[in-house]
A = this chain, B = another copy of it.
Amino acid sequence: MKKKIVNDPVHGFITIPQGGVQALIDHPYLQRLRRIKQLGLTEMVYPGALHTRFGHALGAMHLMTLAMDTLRDRGYPISARECEAATLAILMHDIGHGPFSHALESSLLSKTNHEQMGNFMMGRLREQIDGPIDMAMAMFEGSYPRHFFKQLIASQLDCDRLDYLVRDSFYTGVLEGTVGATRMIKMFDLADEQLVVEAKGIYSVENFLNSRRVMYWQVYLHKTTICAEEMLIRVIKRARELMAMGSKLPMPEWLQVFFEREITIADIEAEPDLLDSFTLLDDTDIWICLKYWQKHEDPILSLLARSLVERRLFKVELSQTPPSEAYVCQLIEQVALLKGLTVEQASYLVIQGTVLNAAYDPDAESIKIVQRNGDLTDIREAADLPHIEAMAKPVVKWYLAYPK
């Protein structure tokens, strides 16, 4: 069968099987992901971090292929149909995301989420793509009997995480966060249709979890990124309020409905137009809004929008304990004075919240190590040091951001 090859800077040549998989990649739902950055506003801190959800989808697909090759080499039968379904599933794992995922999910799409959206969109793809989308959805949900497919798609050690760690590390330049994804996958094995890792892969798993922790603190929860995202959330919120009060804000028409209404998944199911609008949304819409709104008459909206467009980000303080209320009040007053705003207006511009991270979730399905004698152990017990135990403990930090 003829194959297409794509050149990926992270994994090298990626082979795309023709047929349903190629059709899915060519579908507008997937192509839209070309215009949604994987790490949102992280590029404000790490200027190389421009990669998209589309590239990540291809990369995760590539790792899925390697994982299936490894398992087949070990003698486990995987049918061509299962293989195609797993490939389709991993490709679709992010299609429900909107632009700037965190910001939009908590503000613009607050009544639904990317999992619901993704699930609904998969249902639509079932009618349009000639391939085992049903089986892919079953794998995704975990209802497919061979549990390891679900684990390869979404677990604490899946092709999604492996690709995004190595990809995010590559594009940010945070080399401490890199992971030997292909090496890791070569140590995958099965036990009772469950995904497990060979005993000699234990240091690789530790390294993987540690990389994840490093990426959380150095990248995903970088205080300046969080600040930029919170500023964007405030933009959305302020824009909604202004519209609710009757202001007219220029914006693409397909975005408008999400500002005017709080859309639920039931709405999406009931009104076909809403999905059409959603599937037009990408990062460019938000940027256009910011460029329009930086000249808006509302001082809050324009200040926030212009600060993002020109990357004049707020000052951020990170601390191990919550800031005192008195300190926050004092900051608000300072900002009011500095920017000629009322205290109420200024309070929009003093942003606080918490970030929290645990590299390993002890309550989720655990990563299992298979010993030479066939015994299975949780990685926390298999490791010779209390590292993993330590990484299972969540770490919380408080941030406070305000205009300079």
Chain A positions within 8 Å of B, measured between CB atoms, are 3, 5-10, 12-13, 26, 28, 31, 34-35, 43, 46-48, 50-52, 54-55, 58, 73, 170-176, 180, 182-183, 186, 203-204, 206-207, 210, 213-214, 217-218, 252, 254, 280, 282-285, 287-288, 291-292, 309-312, 384-387, 390-391, 393, 395
Q: Choose from B12, B206, B288 the contact partner of A285 (Cβ within 8 Å).
A: B288
The 4 closest A-B pairs by CB, nearest first: A9-B48, A9-B173, A50-B50, A7-B173
A106 to B183, CA, bound (A): 36
Q: Beyond A34-B47, A52-B47, A252-B291, is A203–B176 a contact (Cβ under 8 Å)?
A: yes
Q: How near does chain B come to A181, taking the closest CB pair, in angstroms?
A: 11
A182 to B14, CA, bound (A): 12
Q: How near does chain B come to A336, taking the closest CB pair, in angstroms?
A: 25
A52 to B48, CA, bound (A): 8
Which residues of B are found within 8 Å of A171, using beta-carbon distances? 9
- Closest B residue to A184 by CB, please name it: B176
Which residues of B are found within 8 Å of A186, using beta-carbon distances? 5, 13
CB of B48 within 8 A of CB of A10, answer: yes
A180 to B169, CA, bound (A): 13
A52 to B180, CA, bound (A): 26
Q: Beyond A13-B186, A285-B288, A287-B284, is A46–B386 a contact (Cβ under 8 Å)?
A: no
Which residues of B are found within 8 Å of A73, using beta-carbon distances? 3
Q: Choose from B26, B172, B218, B252 the contact partner of A288 (Cβ within 8 Å).
A: B252
Q: Beyond A43-B34, A47-B6, A204-B176, is A387–B384 a contact (Cβ under 8 Å)?
A: no
A-B contact pairs, 16 of them (CB 8 A): A3-B73, A8-B48, A9-B170, A9-B171, A26-B311, A34-B47, A47-B52, A47-B54, A48-B55, A203-B214, A206-B214, A284-B284, A285-B288, A384-B395, A387-B390, A390-B390
- Closest B residue to A43 by CB, please name it: B34
Q: Beyond A26-B311, A218-B203, A309-B31, is A7–B291 a contact (Cβ under 8 Å)?
A: no
Q: Choose from B206, B207, B391 the contact partner of A385 (Cβ within 8 Å).
A: B391
